[in-house]
Amino acid sequence: MNNLLNSLHWQDWLSVPSGRYGVIYGGISAERDISLMSGQQILMCLQQIGVDAFGIDLGSDGQQVVSQLQDHSMDGAFIAVHGRGGEDGRLQALLEMRGIPYTGSGVLASSLGMNKLMTKQIWQSQGLVTPAYCSLTASSNWHQVVDELGLPLVVKPVHQGSSLGISLVENQFDLADAYHVAAVYDHQVMAEKYIDGDEYTVAILAGQALPAIRLQTENRFYDLQAKYYSTTTRYLFDNAMTAAQQVNMEGDCLQAFTALDCRSWGRVDLIRDLQGRNWLLEVNTVPGMTDHSLMPIAALQVGLDFSQLVLVILNQALTNRERVYD
In a 13 Å sphere around the CA of 146, the CA atoms on its Cβ side amount to 14
Active-site annotation holds for 88: no
Catalytic pick from 228, 264, 266, 278? Answer: 228
Catalytic pick from 39, 86, 161, 288? Answer: 288
Active-site annotation holds for 322: no
Catalytic pick from 96, 199, 252, 269? Answer: 269
Active-site annotation holds for 207: no
Catalytic pick from 111, 115, 284, 315? Answer: 284
Active-site annotation holds for 228: yes
Active-site annotation holds for 170: no
Catalytic pick from 38, 267, 278, 315? Answer: 267
Three-state SS for the chain is: CCHHHHHCCHHHHCCCCCCEEEEEECCCCCCHHHHHHHHHHHHHHHHHCCCEEEEEECCCCCCCHHHHHHCCCCCEEEECCCCCCCCCCHHHHHHHHCCCCECCCCHHHHHHHHCHHHHHHHHHHCCCCCCCEEEECCCCCHHHHHHHHCCCEEEEECCCCCCCCCEEECCHHHHHHHHHHHHCCCCCEEEEECCCEEEEEEEEECCEECCCEEEECCCCCCCHHHHHCCCCCEEECCCCCCHHHHHHHHHHHHHHHHHCCCCCEEEEEEEEECCCCEEEEEEECCCCCCCCCHHHHHHHHCCCCHHHHHHHHHHHHHHCHHHHHC
Active-site annotation holds for 12: no
Catalytic pick from 162, 167, 264, 293? Answer: 162
Active-site annotation holds for 73: no
Catalytic pick from 31, 186, 199, 250? Answer: 31
Active-site annotation holds for 288: yes
Active site residues: 31, 162, 228, 267, 269, 282, 284, 288
